[in-house]
Amino acid sequence: MSLRKPMIAGNWKMFKTQTEAAETARRLVSLVKDTRDVDVMVAPAFTALAGVAAEISGTPVTLGAQNLFWETEGAFTGEISPAMLVAVGCRYVIIGHSERRQYFGETDTGVNRKTAAAIDAGLVPVLCIGETASEREDDKTLPVLQRQLKKGLDGFTAEALASLVIAYEPVWAIGTGKAATADIAQSVHAAIRQWIETNFGNSLAKSIRILYGGSVKPNNVKELMSQPDIDGALVGGASLDAETFSQLICYK
């Protein structure tokens, strides 16, 4: 039996005003009263964090942000610091999502600095990695993931990474309705866990949670979650509706 607690996380991306996000959070809380055996996180836009924090306070639903900047404070117009996220009630922060890498030029080096800053501030980083369709076609899936992990986690000790969550999100599966099959996802997750074991030791490899992301829906969540190395899901589209997201959270 795995000792890893499953985690279902919703990434609301650039959807929902503060009012809409608070309403969805309120509805979600009313639907998922008993989620003691699953960690639940929602990551609304920055503008909705405070409102969602108020709705989920005292419930099993926890708060995450979609990004952060690595400096503690300063003249960095438009950026948000780790301490600001902690102060608004965040426990998690998504780092290196493929949309940030694709559209906003995020590099593995930046991801590394953000991961360090998150850990320093006591946030749990949800580090996203994943290959594109063409990288998969060229048989480069594992080298790409290994590069993202090696650079993203450069300089850390296993102890520092004790809380880290990894999200494997194949870019070709995000928002496309074409989720990786459970077999494909499982084999990649096993390879990621193996890489962690080789580089950070057996204990971290056993305890680290590896989420799958990319078109997770109520009709595929159970099969994905039944795989031995899949510890949860990072969900975009299907997390926007409270009813649908609650079905994912209650996948058992």
- In this complex, which beta carbon is closest to ligand PGA, that of residue 166 or of residue 216? 216
The sign of the dihedral angle between the CA atoms of 51, 55, 58, 64 is negative
* Distance, CA of 23 to chain centre: 22
- In this complex, which beta carbon is closest to ligand PGA, that of residue 51 or of residue 213? 213
Residue 189 annotated in active site: no
* In contact, 251 and 225? CB cutoff 8 Å: yes
Looking at the DSSP assignment, which residues form a beta bridge with residue 95? Answer: 127
Instruction: Annotate each residue in 137-166 with x if it binds ligand PGA (CB under 6 A) or - if it does not, as one string.
Output: ------------------------------
Q: How many CA atoms lie within 13 A of 135 on its CB side?
A: 15
Strand-pair category, 39-43 with 61-65: parallel
**Stretch of 41-49, 105-113, 168-176, 244-252 lying at the interface with ligand PGA (CB under 6 A):** 168-176
Q: Which residue of this chain has its Cβ atom nearest to ligand PGA in the complex?
A: 236
Exactly one of 99, 106, 169, 189 is catalytic; name it: 169
**Stretch of 34-42, 43-51, 103-111, 234-242 lying at the interface with ligand PGA (CB under 6 A):** 234-242
Distance CA 110, CA 71 (A): 11
Contacts with ligand PGA by CB under 6 A lie at: 11, 169, 174-175, 213-216, 234-238
